Structure 1
Amino acid sequence: MALENSHELENGDGTTRSDQNFLEKEAEEADDEANKGKEIESVEMIFRDTVVPSWKGQLTVRAFVVSAILGVVFSFIVMKLNLTTGIIPSLNVAAGLLGFFFVKTWTKVLEQCGLLKHPFTRQENTVIQTCVVATSGIAFSGGFGSYLFGMSDTIAAQSSDANSPTRDMNIKNPSLSWMIGFLFIVSFIGLCSVVPLRKIMIIDFKLTYPSGTATAHLINSFHTPQGAKLAKKQVTALGKFFSFSFLWSFFQWFFVSEDDCGFENFPTFGLKAYQNMFYFDFSTMYVGVGMICPHLINISLLLGTILSWGIMWPLIEKKEGDWYEAGLKSSNFHGIQGYRVFTAIALILGDGLYNFLKVLGNTSIALYKQLKNKESRTVLPVGPDGKATSEDLATSFDDKCRKQVFLKDRIPTWLAVGGYVAIAAIATTTLPQIFEQLEWYYVLVIYVFAPALAFCNAYGCGLTDWSLASTYGKLAIFVIGAWAGKSQGGVLAGLAACGVMMNIVSTASDLMQDFKTGYMTLASPRSMFVSQVIGTAMGCVIAPCVFWIFYQAFPDMGVQGSEYPAPYALVYRNLAILGVEGFGSLPKHCLSLCYGFFAAAILINVARDTAPKKWARFIPIPMAIAIPFYIQKPFAIDMCLGSLILFIWEKRNKKEAKAFGPAVASGLICGEGLWSVPKSILALVKVNPPICMKFLSKGMNVKVDDFISTLSR
């Protein structure tokens, strides 16, 4: 999922597991068309006449130029999603498609001019996709919408310790220099932690890594004749909807000269529904996100919106003066905001804890079975008659080719171990200089335990495609925060520790996904590792710069109710406060509600796992329900509209929807996401929209008309 996990509900706090089924089926359909009337042919037999370049030959200048351009574009998209809802879909499809399109166009022009020296290969395509995702991934794992921005004074002023005497020692405002330095220190060590285990994970244990496998199928299909034709059509569809989304966002900008103006505040279902977050805000980005996210996530978001803004908050607001002090600002945590945020935190923690224990248990059991039955796993499966089928022979040929390439370009173990120790030593020395509250021995303890947790996350991700990076980060918040204590800056220490832990376990699982993709496309492990390192390095510079543009262009960023409220930043800070202060400062009955929602999250997950499959697919996801509780944005309506469009499309033409749905969605997301660049530049140079389009009730409109008429006399 990209809510709280990567490829997650939150790529989340944040990425959805999206589209691997589409990719796999699309690849299968392409293979079926290519093999009509023929015996089953292996993937590598199709490419048997194609020369595989050396690992250095896969790392081309053009690949990294394209990766840098797409990395900037995708970083703006991820940053905008981070700072609005925290729901980040998988952008692998768009990265693979656009990477293929740009380089294929480049090489075609050079070929016609007689200047082409190196043809475009699937290995180079894999390098581009890996580099782009690594670059834009830092925009999420860097914590700009969660733990890192949660350190700022803007978020602290809205948190439950806003009036605490120790607040000042728990604040660190964003600065381009320390953010870049921090990311360079913490973002690479996770790459070293699992490199020695790549053969065990990919070849010995044969872990599937669904997203990595699906991406490999996509890239392999692109470079067959049938796949190349489909890719061009997909890119055309992406381009059309990209243009529409960008121009529509540009048009809307003219009508937003003040707060609460413009199409994004259109009271679609009436003014009363508008006040309770039920309206369509004409965001093409979230319509696209809804087309990529599974239907159940979108329905869960809508259910959460109805439960919170439609039922709970109106009822609790009637208790003002009884349950909490009257006259408090809506952002005050001793008032209604306390119920909004902490009930959401309870749902998130309940869901996260359940899935953490579930994945950890499944991982332990599967690991035990694989170690116990390792020898039997190496036996080639045979057909019912005791003979290998043609499909088995194709698989055997593919595996033989892939193992040969995968094991040829070894990454020395001493390099990985030495790199881990060296980076850990540097981090232990330098991180306390960036965060005075984070003692050196806190950092040392994190790095001692991190490799085991990185292995668990990478292994679990290989089984389920579910990364629990943010869950490990929350664990670090509570452990280090409680260890440091309130009077010693435990809130800031916990948030910094969260960043260290999240980056280690997140990059570890991402790298193993890339190794799986490289394994299936015959890309060298060395080229995968180098492209991941280069992409991460680019992300450590690009992501903070993109965040800084938003930070400077929108002074109210991080304020609840603003255009960019950064909702997870507030959640992470309050988690850190809970870790050092406890629950004493919550408003009346809030703790009881938290206990109830925590238990409800666990029970809902138990029901999802025990109910028959035909019913389980209708049971909502607690983490998705939680997000609308405290986000004052109507994105659930937008995403459900995207889901409805895809549903109708699938009913009318399922094959076409599977082939072009992700491309259309990616175009809608990229168009509005790219509009963030000129919009931010216009804000920086103080160019404001010229018109305010606002919607008033009939009675209010009469009063405004009367007031204007008195002025004109």
Structure 2
Amino acid sequence: MVQNGDGDRVDNAFDDDAIDENDPNQKGSKLREEEISVERAFENQEVPSWRNQLTIRAFFVSLVLSILFSFIVMKLNLTTGIIPSLNVSAGLLGFFFVKTWTKFLEKSGWLRQPFTRQENTVIQTCVVASSGIAFSGGFGSYLFGMSERIATQSSDTTNIKNPGLGWIIGFLFVVSFLGLFSVVPLRKIMIIDFKLTYPSGTATAHLINSFHTRQGAKLAKKQVKTLAKFFSFSFLWSFFKWFFSGGDDCGFDYFPSLGLKAFQYKFYFDFSAIYVGVGMICPYIINISVLLGGILSWGVMWPLIEKKKGDWYSADLDESSLQSVQGYKVFIAIAMILGDGLYNFFKVLSHTLSGMYYQIRDKRRENVLPVGQGSSSSPQLSYDEQRRTQLFLKDQIPTWFSVGGYVAIAAISIATLPHIFNELKWYYILVIYLVAPTLAFCNAYGCGLTDWSLASTYGKLAIFTIGAWAGAAHGGVLAGLAACGVMMNIVSTASDLTQDFKTGYLTLASPRAMFVSQIIGTAMGCIVSPCVFWIFYNAFDDLGKETSEYPAPYAIVYRNMAKLGVEGFSYLPKNCLMLCYIFFGSAIVINMIKDFLGKRGRFIPLPMAMAIPFYIGPYFAIDMCVGSVILFVWEKINKAKADAFGPAVASGLICGDGIWALPASILALAGVNPPICMKFLSRATNAKVDALLGS
């Protein structure tokens, strides 16, 4: 029996001595249990203490990988906003680097502590926590949406706060840790009592467990070689493409592969390895949905609306004005995003409430005393469950520590944030922090049921509520965007931590080690992510513009959400509001049909994914669909090999292209421009150019 600090008891429900070896039923049951048991494969390995799971080498590797993944996430943030799960890559690369290092030390006779799956889990947790700040920090959404570059595109020159490395780091440090402390007291309820699945955390744990078996280590070695091969190819290909991009609309990124007319409406394959890799990781329905959204918007709607120039909007307006066709692109996308987000918010909330009701009801039934000794209201724990539960409850994080930490950080934040954002009053922040623990729990619980974090949806709710509360005259746009950042960071880190608790539970990593690793990873992210963004911001003068290599599409979307919440619908172009209503309702109806059809609903497109290309175009969707086709054909030829090496190939393509952003930024900062401009012209345009040059 183990007794934890809260007074809970865990009885040793699985006892080898209680099995009669002469009873064939019991003996067969034991053999079957041993066949499927994961922990029996590791029962001869000692589980290190929580302090020994936190090694210097683990955090050094985590820092290196955090920088790598922060560049990848930042590039995706500033281009399309589609960010696939990188947990597999983090676990695989963490295993490879530390395993290589420990093998070298072992041969030299200097190895003091072997590499364990618990240490591998610490690395994965730290890396994901750090790179997660690159998303929740709002560098491609609410935070960049405050800048003058984005404000000028939304015809709004007020409510501006340009990025500054100092205040961004300070802001992230005072808002990024609250979510961690808010859900720590509920860890046992989430993992042990409610047995929430957390699919991503569970899959990562199974991956890490497999790495540390003999067969798994061999496969991991092959996977790393595959990842390295495609990493090198992707990096060198990006380097090669750079040479031909010396000017506006130059290079392979602007190759009119589907024809010049299609290119005019952004239908082309741009030879981007990173989106081919993303397409191989994302489910098929995501890629198809993005392509359908691109066809609907850029293939049908925008050409038709452009024909209404002079009727629906003035012909004298610049194309970048929100009073022109640009307004339809932005606000119809916002309507679909809000419709999908609100539907899934209420869907997950209803699942959360009903799930909690049934969990509590079943728990009460289990506490009823059995009528006879031979009856039992609860199933017998397996060996794996018994061992995992025992160790999960061993190293407790005191409730007073988490509550005190939340109150202390909240007090510091309430005192600090109004100095960073004058428009964000202290009582706005106090209200957010009073309701945030409930919303953090809902998001963490819903993520455990559906593997779906609704952090951005909670952030959008904060935009509208706080922005409307502040009002246009008192900087409501900036207040709403800042409130979005506060809320997003709390609920996002809360779901991330509970996801990691599940991973730690399945790998026997201590909850204390998970919590400390998450804290250190978050601290790394609060420094690394702003520095990475600062490199992009200073290296590319056109960052955030629609024609840029890094258009940051969600920055203008979030800013216009804030403006919409403060000023209402008065400045929308003609018939735009009607179209917004139609697409808002369509998003809800599509989701309802999808859920009503059950398993057959997996063929129905996702409105959120369809909305992404409305503003930036469908070119990246074509890349993603190419990735899907590659994976589909591979699975038809050899499914086992595709399942084993597909994620490694995709990760290599993503990492190679993503890390090229670092040398590309350094070259741009140094004033080194690509030497060649490769452009593609129509025959008629080329004849005019020849005639001009000839004269």
Task: Normalising by structure 1, report the TM-score.
Answer: 0.91
1:67 aligns with 2:62: yes
1:338 aligns with 2:327: yes
Distance, in Å, in 2 between the alignment partners of 1:457 and 1:303 is 29
| Superposed displacement of residue 378, structure 1 | 8.7
Partner of 1:158: 153
Distance, in Å, in 1 between the alignment partners of 2:523 and 2:550 is 26
Amino acid at match of 1:694: K
Instruction: Work out whether residues 250 and 675 of structure 1, in 8 Å CA contact, stay in contact via their aligned partners in 2.
Output: yes
The alpha-carbon distance between structure 1 residues 38 and 495, as it changes in their structure 2 partners (threshold 3 A), is closer
Q: How does 1:19-34 map to 2 (within 5 A)?
A: none
Distance, in Å, in 2 between the alignment partners of 1:290 and 1:463 is 25
| Superposed displacement of residue 570, structure 1 | 0.3
Cα deviation code 1:388-429 (max 9, x no counterpart): 9xxx97x61111111111111000111100000001101111
Which of 103, 107, 115 aligns to 1:120? It is: 115
Partner of 2:619: 634
Distance, in Å, in 1 between the alignment partners of 2:103 and 2:634 is 34
Cα deviation code 1:120-170 (max 9, x no counterpart): 0000000000000001000000000000000001000011x42xxxx43x1
Which of 385, 410, 414 aligns to 1:399? It is: 385
Distance, in Å, in 1 between the alignment partners of 2:281 and 2:316 is 42
Q: How does 1:580-591 map to 2 (within 5 A)?
A: 580-591=566-577
Amino acid at match of 1:188: F
Amino acid at match of 1:506: S
Partner of 2:578: 592
Partner of 2:524: 538
Distance, in Å, in 2 between the alignment partners of 1:378 and 1:709 is 92
Which of 633, 639, 642 aligns to 1:654? It is: 639
Instruction: Work out whether residues 186 and 427 of structure 1, in 8 Å CA contact, stay in contact via their aligned partners in 2.
Output: yes
Partner of 1:242: 231
Which of 173, 189, 198 aligns to 2:162? It is: 173
Instruction: Work out whether residues 561 and 632 of structure 1, in 8 Å CA contact, stay in contact via their aligned partners in 2.
Output: no
Instruction: Work out whether residues 211 and 220 of structure 2, in 8 Å CA contact, stay in contact via their aligned partners in 1.
Output: yes
Cα deviation code 1:269-320 (max 9, x no counterpart): 1100111111100000000000000000000011011001001000100000
| Superposed displacement of residue 329, structure 1 | 1.6
Deviates more, 1:41-50 or 1:343-352: 41-50
Instruction: Work out whether residues 560 and 632 of structure 1, in 8 Å CA contact, stay in contact via their aligned partners in 2.
Output: no
Q: How does 1:172-251 map to 2 (within 5 A)?
A: 172-251=161-240
Amino acid at match of 1:278: F
Partner of 2:660: 675
Which of 613, 626, 629 aligns to 1:644? It is: 629
The alpha-carbon distance between structure 1 residues 669 and 396, as it changes in their structure 2 partners (threshold 3 A), is same
Deviates more, 1:37-46 or 1:360-369: 37-46
Q: How does 1:500-511 map to 2 (within 5 A)?
A: 500-511=486-497
The alpha-carbon distance between structure 1 residues 193 and 387, as it changes in their structure 2 partners (threshold 3 A), is closer
Partner of 1:5: none
Partner of 1:494: 480
Amino acid at match of 1:258: G
1:364 aligns with 2:353: yes
Amino acid at match of 1:599: G
Q: How does 1:378-389 map to 2 (within 5 A)?
A: none
1:570 aligns with 2:573: no
Cα deviation code 1:651-678 (max 9, x no counterpart): 1111111110000000000000010010
| Superposed displacement of residue 561, structure 1 | 1.6
Which of 75, 88, 103 aligns to 2:83? It is: 88
Instruction: Work out whether residues 287 and 638 of structure 1, in 8 Å CA contact, stay in contact via their aligned partners in 2.
Output: yes
Partner of 2:95: 100
Distance, in Å, in 1 between the alignment partners of 2:407 and 2:305 is 53
The alpha-carbon distance between structure 1 residues 403 and 361, as it changes in their structure 2 partners (threshold 3 A), is same
Instruction: Work out whether residues 457 and 509 of structure 1, in 8 Å CA contact, stay in contact via their aligned partners in 2.
Output: yes
Amino acid at match of 1:454: A
1:553 aligns with 2:567: no
Amino acid at match of 1:65: F
Which of 274, 279, 286 aligns to 1:285? It is: 274
Instruction: Work out whether residues 291 and 618 of structure 2, in 8 Å CA contact, stay in contact via their aligned partners in 1.
Output: no
| Superposed displacement of residue 327, structure 1 | 2.6
Instruction: Work out whether residues 341 and 630 of structure 1, in 8 Å CA contact, stay in contact via their aligned partners in 2.
Output: yes
Partner of 2:513: 527
Distance, in Å, in 2 between the alignment partners of 1:121 and 1:152 is 45
Distance, in Å, in 1 between the alignment partners of 2:199 and 2:633 is 27
| Superposed displacement of residue 632, structure 1 | 3.7
Amino acid at match of 2:51: K
Task: Normalising by structure 2, report the TM-score.
Answer: 0.93
| Superposed displacement of residue 350, structure 1 | 0.4
Instruction: Work out whether residues 295 and 618 of structure 2, in 8 Å CA contact, stay in contact via their aligned partners in 1.
Output: no
Query: How many matched pairs?
Result: 660
Unaligned runs of 5+ in 1: 1-34, 380-385
Q: Over the residues paired in the alignment, what is the CA RMSD in angstroms?
A: 1.7
| Superposed displacement of residue 331, structure 1 | 1.1
Distance, in Å, in 1 between the alignment partners of 2:224 and 2:543 is 34
Cα deviation code 1:71-103 (max 9, x no counterpart): 000000000000000000000010011000000
Cα deviation code 1:558-602 (max 9, x no counterpart): 111211111000000000001100001000000000000000000
| Superposed displacement of residue 375, structure 1 | 4.5
Cα deviation code 1:597-628 (max 9, x no counterpart): 000000000000001423x1111000011011
1:619 aligns with 2:604: yes
Distance, in Å, in 2 between the alignment partners of 1:698 and 1:420 is 66
Partner of 1:258: 247
- 4+ residue segments displaced more than 3 Å: 35-39, 375-379
Identity over aligned pairs, percent = 72
Distance, in Å, in 2 between the alignment partners of 1:135 and 1:326 is 47
Distance, in Å, in 2 between the alignment partners of 1:631 and 1:625 is 12
1:480 aligns with 2:466: yes
Amino acid at match of 1:50: Q
Instruction: Work out whether residues 187 and 501 of structure 2, in 8 Å CA contact, stay in contact via their aligned partners in 1.
Output: yes
Partner of 1:462: 448
Instruction: Work out whether residues 242 and 671 of structure 1, in 8 Å CA contact, stay in contact via their aligned partners in 2.
Output: yes
Cα deviation code 1:217-266 (max 9, x no counterpart): 00001101111111111111101000000000000000000010000100
| Superposed displacement of residue 351, structure 1 | 0.3
Distance, in Å, in 2 between the alignment partners of 1:519 and 1:178 is 37
| Superposed displacement of residue 41, structure 1 | 4.2
Instruction: Work out whether residues 354 and 605 of structure 1, in 8 Å CA contact, stay in contact via their aligned partners in 2.
Output: yes
Instruction: Work out whether residues 267 and 617 of structure 2, in 8 Å CA contact, stay in contact via their aligned partners in 1.
Output: no
Instruction: Work out whether residues 313 and 574 of structure 2, in 8 Å CA contact, stay in contact via their aligned partners in 1.
Output: yes
Partner of 2:13: none
